[in-house]
């Protein structure tokens, strides 16, 4: 028997990555077969998974780190807002809860301070915001009580390690439905401020 002399079809050329690339030209047996999809590299899949984790963690942290809304409708809320802004080192946020930060309040309750004196007081707050923040970062506040001056409220606070014989408080005044910080009081063996005198 003689060997067949029919020409043999050329072997399918192999891809350099080891994948076979079938001939899908017209008239071939694989013409109607869908081309197999290649898998993405493993490093790309890994990078995608890491990115998803990073985004998820960022969203969770963003929710946790989101500052609480500022409430100046009560002296206690104003004290919390004061401490929060100070602890964050937020100069603008801190001035926003002070009487100095409002020109109308400063003019009415600033004790006759001129614009230069008010600007100097603002600079003192800005220069010492970190120190103020370190002091009030762990402050615990008590319910407000009447302040020594008419229309004011004092909010006592305690700090970790504060001696029992010390009493400190923040003083707030109401201006246009907001309680704004005007002063700090207290010290060792501080006495309770006298109740506000009734207005005529």
Domain membership of residue 21 (yes or no) is: no
Domain membership of residue 105 (yes or no) is: yes
Chain-centre distance of CA 62, in angstroms? 7
* Amino acid 37: pLDDT: 58
* Amino acid 180: pLDDT: 96
What is the mean pLDDT of each successive set of 10 residues along the chain, which is 200 residues long?
49 48 50 56 44 34 48 95 93 94 91 89 91 86 94 93 89 96 78 48
Q: Residue 150 maps to which CATH number?
A: 3.10.450
Number of domains in the chain: 1
Domain membership of residue 2 (yes or no) is: no
Write out the residue range of the structural domain in which residue 132 sits.
75-188
Domain membership of residue 128 (yes or no) is: yes
Domain membership of residue 11 (yes or no) is: no
Domain membership of residue 101 (yes or no) is: yes
Half-sphere exposure of 13 (CA within 13 A, CB side): 4
């Amino acid at each position: 028997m003689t060997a067949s002399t029919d020409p043999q079809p050329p072997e399918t050329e192999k891809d350099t990555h080891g994948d076979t690339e079938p001939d899908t030209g017209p008239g071939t047996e694989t013409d109607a077969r869908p081309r197999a999809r290649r898998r993405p590299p493993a490093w790309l899949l890994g990078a995608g998974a890491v990115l998803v984790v990073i985004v998820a963690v960022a969203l969770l942290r963003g929710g946790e780190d989101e500052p609480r809304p500022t409430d100046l409708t009560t002296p206690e809320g104003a004290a919390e807002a004061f401490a929060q802004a100070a602890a964050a080192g937020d100069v603008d946020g801190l001035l926003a809860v002070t009487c100095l930060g409002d020109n109308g309040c400063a003019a009415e309750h600033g004790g006759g301070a001129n614009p230069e004196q008010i600007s100097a007081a603002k600079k003192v707050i800005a220069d010492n915001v970190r120190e103020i923040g370190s002091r009030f970062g762990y402050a615990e506040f008590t319910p407000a009580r009447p302040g020594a001056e008419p229309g004011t409220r004092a909010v006592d606070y305690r700090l970790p390690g504060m001696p029992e014989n010390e009493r400190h408080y923040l003083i707030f005044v109401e201006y246009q439905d907001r309680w704004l910080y005007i002063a700090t009081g207290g010290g060792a063996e501080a006495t309770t401020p006298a109740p506000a005198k009734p207005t005529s």
